[in-house]
């Protein structure tokens, strides 16, 4: 089943006989409830078998009451992963799934009304090993002007059918053949479960093996953005965590380290002058600076962040 880098194995794709929707959650019962309500309605209308797998990463099982209110409306499984580590929760979810395709969505998101149907229809037209779709922001409060101007929460989107590169892949909205999660003992690396980047790491390994992932722009989901994520402090912490994760996913690379050191020096010089062009430009460059600081710390095996920003 393993493939050489660059090999395309699209002919080994298969017919969809069932879907397991996997959700990992951590202390977001209200948003989880909203997500489940949207899922139950559309799963009930599917012509194939489906289930929902919920893995609660809170040892206090704060999601249990919400999940149990699903009742008998749909097949579901509730599990708890008591160790706070998103990789452990993701691994438990995908290994519990019984059907041959897995749909992934985050607990602070909710799907469009035809989310799963659009994934299914797209896959029938464009055989591949996985399909990803857009995640569009829903701001819970009016964002500061610098957030709107910098487009920090606007993720790249592509024309449907576009073949994706690893840097475009994440698990916030994905539809993937289950067998890909059985190629490694840990499809999601527990060493990245606290800093982040475990999903990017998974897709990079699949990409190196030659698996094909396409984009479906019609299978959209929406992500709630709370006011806490719109602060500069949060964005700097996230950038630092992101840089740490990116460097930890790769072997020590002195060329990349040198590039980040040069970028660090450049941004330190640019920052004072960028303020002349407004707070949005200044904050954008400051966030990029922290990205490179995170990469440098990661290459040096230093980790000042114990948990990634929620």
Cα–Cα dist 255/249, whole Å = 15
- Higher-confidence position of 308 and 10: 308
Q: Give the pLDDT of residue 4.
A: 38
pLDDT value for 3? 36
Q: What are phi and psi of 4, to 5 degrees?
A: -75, 155
Please list the alpha-helical segments (H only) found in 56-183.
Answer: 64-68, 86-96, 115-125, 145-150
Return the CA Rg of the chain: 20
Strand partners for 110: 222
Please tell me the distance from the alpha carbon of residue 238 to that of residue 160, in angstroms, as a whole number: 29
How many residues in total does the chain contain? 310
CA dist 1 and 251 (Å) reads 25
Strand partners, 213: 130
Model confidence over 250-288: pLDDT tens digits?
666 777 888 888 988 998 999 988 888 889 999 999 999
Amino acid 297: pLDDT: 86
Q: Average pLDDT, stretch 125-135?
A: 96
């Amino acid at each position: 089943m393993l493939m050489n880098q660059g090999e395309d194995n699209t002919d080994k794709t298969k017919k969809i006989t069932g879907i397991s929707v996997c959700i990992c959650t951590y202390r977001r019962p209200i948003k989880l409830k909203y997500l489940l309500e949207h899922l139950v309605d559309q799963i009930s209308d599917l012509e194939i078998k489906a289930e929902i797998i919920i893995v609660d990463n809170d040892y206090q099982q704060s999601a249990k009451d919400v999940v149990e209110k699903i009742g008998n409306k749909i097949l579901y499984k509730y599990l708890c992963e008591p160790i706070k580590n998103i990789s452990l929760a993701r691994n438990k979810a995908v290994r519990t799934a019984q059907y041959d395709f897995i749909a992934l969505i985050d607990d602070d998101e909710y799907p469009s009304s035809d989310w799963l149907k659009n994934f299914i229809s797209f896959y029938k037209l464009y055989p591949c090993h996985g399909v990803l779709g857009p995640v569009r922001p829903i701001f819970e409060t009016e964002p500061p002007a610098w957030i709107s101007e910098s487009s920090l929460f606007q993720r790249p989107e592509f024309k449907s059918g576009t073949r994706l590169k690893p840097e475009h892949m994440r698990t916030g909205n994905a539809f993937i053949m289950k067998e890909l999660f059985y190629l490694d003992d840990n499809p999601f690396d527990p060493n990245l479960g606290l800093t982040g980047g475990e999903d990017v790491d998974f897709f990079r390994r699949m990409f190196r093996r030659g698996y094909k992932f396409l984009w479906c722009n019609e299978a959209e989901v929406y992500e709630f953005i709370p006011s806490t994520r719109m602060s500069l402090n949060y964005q700097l912490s996230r950038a630092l965590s992101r840089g740490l994760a990116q460097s930890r996913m790769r072997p020590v690379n002195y060329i990349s380290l040198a590039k980040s050191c040069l970028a660090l020096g450049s941004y330190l010089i640019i920052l004072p002058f960028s303020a002349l062009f407004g707070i949005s430009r200044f904050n954008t460059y400051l966030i990029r600076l922290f990205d490179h600081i995170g990469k440098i710390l990661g290459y040096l095996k230093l980790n000042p962040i114990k948990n990634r920003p929620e």
